[in-house]
Amino acid sequence: MISRAALLYLSQKSELKDFFLKLPGFDQVTRRFIAGENIDDAIAAILELNRAGMTATFDHLGESTASRAEAESDVREYLRVLEHIEDAGVNSNVSVKLTQLGLDIDEDYCLRNARRIVEAAKRHDNFVRIDMEDSSKTDATLRIFRLLYGEYGNVGIVLQAYLYRTEKDVDDALAMGARIRLCKGAYKEPEGVAFPHKSDVDANFVRLMKKLLRSGIYHGIATHDEKMIAATKEFALIECVPRDAFEFQMLYGIRRDLQFKLAREGYRMRIYVPYGEYWYPYFMRRLAERPANVWFVLKNLFKG
């Protein structure tokens, strides 16, 4: 089996994209994890999820924008997304990465771009989730989040259970009354910043999940890990937290069986739906996360 490290290496080699596209059936396989390259593709995918009783989040693929022109193009795309959500009547909000909006160029510039999106979402009675990236971006991301939350209120944050600092960040966000998306975290972090062992990350995830569910604020518990899901369900039952007082969140195409099962059980289920031209690195990272994803691709590429 190809290693996670090899798949992550391949994700950096965009020239391989054309090679993979020539493989029979590859485009169909990528649709398992990516809705498509444009807004209409994502709308169609989200409408299907809505019919199955699930909500969604638009995730326009891209990060680490190097130019103001690219950042402003992404802002315009999110403004179009918010208009399309309203026009199509889909049940969805949006998520943004701040490096996509120019954080690596200038923090104040990024804030202005993010403000345009949050302000537009407010007009459309919608919500913006600010994604968290690697730990070098955490402080700046939280600064921008706090400013926007204070100005508009319709903005939430993602916090990562594998960072040592996250419990304090959770406490600070809860004191503000903000909505949190709790996830484990997926970036490779230096020693001294993140828990080195999965068992420690899991224990912190459960500890933070309990804080969120006790808070009385509507949060997202983002995981594909059945043990974390079971722990969340058990704690909600013990604490008499209603199933509509929080939501589970997963990625498009990952553990579809579990997504539908939770929705049928009456839990709120939100799916992050990625789309856009920069799908290749995202697709390769999804393969690197779980061996089952690699087997899915191989089975569908080489089936008779």
273 bridge partner residues? 58
For residue 185, give the nearest of 162, 207, 203 by alpha carbon: 162
- Amino acid at site 67: S
Let me know if 268 is a catalytic residue.
Answer: no
Neighbours of 187 (CB within 10 A): 15
Q: Is 214 annotated as catalytic? A: no
* 38: DSSP letter: S
Q: Coil, strand or helix: which one is 67? A: coil
Q: Which residue from 217, 206, 140, 137 is spatially nearest to 175, judged by alpha carbons? A: 217
Closest CA to 273 of 4, 21, 41, 15: 41
Catalytic member of 179, 181, 268, 286: 181
Please pick, among 131, 169, 255, 270, the residue that the annotation labels catalytic: 131
Token couple for 230: 């079971």
Burial environment of residue 119 by CB neighbours within 10 A (0 to 12, 13 to 18, 19 or more): middle
Gyration radius (Cα) of the chain, Å = 19
* Active-site residue list: 131, 181
